[in-house]
A and B are shown apart, each in its own frame.
Chain A
Amino acid sequence: MIREKSIIQGNEQLAPGFWKMRLVAPEIAATVKPGQFINVKIAQCKAPLFRRPFTVFRCLDLDKDRPGIEVVYEVVGRGTRMMSAMGKGDELDIIGPLGRGFKRRDDKRVHILVGSGVGLPALFMLGEELSLAAGRGELELVIMLDAKTKERLILEEEFGSLNGKTLVSIHDGAYGYHGYVTEMLRAYIAEEDIAADCAIYACGPELMFKALVPICSQYNIPAQICMERNMGCGIGACLSCVCRVDKKAVMKHRDVRSSHVQFEDAGSSGYALVCCDGPVFNIDEVIFDE
């Protein structure tokens, strides 16, 4: 974990309510992996108080070969509103890289990214990695972008530039597939007959994950999902970001001793920390309705 006083290089609006911020963060850029996040103290004030977590959208070389990172964020409250008013030269106190990101399923041929709304940025670094491998013919990349309305669809161009097939679903049918991304996904898997040889990586609202569960279990497809919880610290100290998890699935997927997962005495479930054990979980690990 590194704490950097990061200088803002740019902060631009992508669409109404959505922004992209570019930060000088050489040390974090050098080590961040797809799906990891940074925790941002937006201003040295007591309200807003806590740091705000944001996934690293991508790393890039800023001018003079200085490594930097970008975050893409939606203005939803006081903290993000303050961020949107900041500009080049302003300073942010950031800690990162945090959490456990995506693990590439190299045993599968077709890799499907499923992102909705402001969950999309969390998938981009992974998309870049998969795109390189797809360029070498090692795998196939399918990218599914979802939004409620066309105005809320972000990053279509960025994802479109990757070596993959891009599909869009818009809930009101104004553009692309008319409906939810999970319906589009189900149809795609059946049409292409890829169930036996694909992996899913998803980020979006919890409702979307819940809709993924029956698809993944019906076809026995491995899926990794990027979870959100309110966070106090982001570093495993306060135990506020817990997520209910299934004991059997957790034991199958990870080394519990080196995790922060704690199980019920005799029960079949427990709590994992989203900031350390996540934010990325295997979908079968998470118990959605506690």
Chain B
Amino acid sequence: MNKVSSGAAVDLSVTLGKMKLKNPVMPASGTFGYGREFADFINLDDLGAVIVKGTTLRPRLGSFQHRLLEIPGGSLCSIGIQNVGVDSFIADKLPYLRQFNVPVIVNIAGESVEEFARVTEILSKAEGVAGIEINISCPNVKKGGMHFGVDPDATFAVVRAVKGATDLTVMPKLTPNVTDVTVFARACEEAGADAISLINGLVGMAIDVDSRRSKLGKNLTGGVTGPCLKPIALRMVWQVAQVVGIPVVGVGGIACPEDALEFILAGASAVEVGTYNLVNPRVMIEIIEGIRDYLIKKGVSDLAAIRGSFES
């Protein structure tokens, strides 16, 4: 390890596919809007990348109302990928992001392999998109609504199709709602993914005992997100980092620098911060500063030197 003296510059940069990030911290899709919503609190240029709301070919209204419930240490939420659609994203949201010197990653969703490929093609022609994150936690209409992300063949097919439709960096995002997440990570790598992010929300539910109905109204179930998700996310990131050669991006419950460092020690190249952005709009900046302070304290000049250094 390269030793540095206190106060010296440390290298936090990370490479994901063709993208060079100045630091390893970015927002998780759906918790940061289109970036502009946070402009009163942070400078987007300070982030490693910006990942925007899940985007589909056509606009989507998403889940029913009563979408969010606080649970101990987290949320149970069902937004259903409400979004303005890819055309409106390019026309109305992307121009704002172009003024910053930060890679923009678009999280995409679809109901068929063709839809994923089509959205990717459209985004690839737009100026100012650096990467595609594939949300495979979506129902596959052709397979009776079974989620792409719980079927290794469908996962492979989507990643392969998206790769075939673009030269941009492609990063599938794995769901934790599977028995062995490494099977899916391998399928992504074989299909040509440049990086892998994980995890999305873990499906859960809550019942109001008075009305005997779901606390999420007609949505019935939702994704568990936030700090309570972290141990599961960390375990899965650790498992995946051991079996793939491409960079892994850790997501799930990150709320402070120590949380982010745990993921990096477990093998993650970078991290996404989700739910906690909603609580503390400056948390990603605090995490970047905290990672830098940690490296200085440990006398390490380069983030890469500690990656995966968890001793099992």
Chain A interface residues toward B at CB < 8 A? 1-3, 41, 46-51, 93, 95, 229-233, 235-244, 262-265, 270-271, 290
Q: What A residues does B40 contact at CB under 8 A? A: 1-3
A113 to nearest B CB, angstroms?
27
Instruction: Pick the residue among A49, A231, A239, A265 that contacts B58 (CB under 8 A).
Output: A265
CA distance A236 to B278 in the complex (A): 10
- Give residues 119-174 of B contacting A (CB, 8 Å): none
CA distance A240 to B77 in the complex (A): 8
- Give residues 184-243 of B contacting A (CB, 8 Å): 217-218, 226-227
- Give residues 37-81 of B contacting A (CB, 8 Å): 37-38, 40-41, 53, 58-59, 61-62, 64-70, 72-75, 77, 79
Given contacts A232-B75, A237-B32, A271-B82, contact A242 B67 (CB under 8 A): yes
B33 touches A237 (CB 8 A): yes
- Give residues 1-36 of B contacting A (CB, 8 Å): 30-33
B61 touches A237 (CB 8 A): no
B215 to nearest A CB, angstroms?
10
A46 touches B73 (CB 8 A): yes
A47 touches B67 (CB 8 A): no
Residue B308 at the chain A interface, CB threshold 8 Å = no
Interface size on B, residues (CB 8 A): 40
Q: Which residue of B lies closest to A257 (CB)?
A: B92
A50 touches B278 (CB 8 A): yes
Interface of B is mostly: loop
Given contacts A49-B70, A238-B31, contact A271 B65 (CB under 8 A): yes
B182 to nearest A CB, angstroms?
29
Q: Which residue of B lies closest to A3 (CB)?
A: B41
Q: What B residues does A241 contact at CB under 8 A? A: 67-68
CA distance A246 to B41 in the complex (A): 33
Q: What B residues does A237 contact at CB under 8 A? A: 31-33, 37-38, 277-278
Q: What B residues does A229 contact at CB under 8 A? A: 65-66
Given contacts A230-B68, A230-B70, A262-B61, contact A239 B82 (CB under 8 A): yes
Q: What B residues does A235 contact at CB under 8 A? A: 33, 37-38, 281
Given A49-B227, A239-B67: 7 more A-B contacts, CB < 8 Å? A232-B68, A233-B31, A233-B277, A233-B278, A238-B278, A240-B79, A265-B59
Instruction: Pick the residue among B65, B79, B255 that contacts A244 (CB under 8 A).
Output: B65
Could you show 26 A-B contacts with beta carbons less than 8 Å apart? A1-B41, A3-B40, A3-B41, A3-B281, A3-B282, A46-B255, A47-B72, A49-B70, A50-B278, A50-B279, A51-B279, A229-B66, A230-B67, A232-B275, A233-B277, A236-B37, A238-B33, A238-B79, A239-B53, A239-B79, A240-B68, A242-B65, A243-B65, A244-B65, A262-B59, A271-B61
Instruction: Pick the residue among B33, B61, B75 that contacts A264 (CB under 8 A).
Output: B61
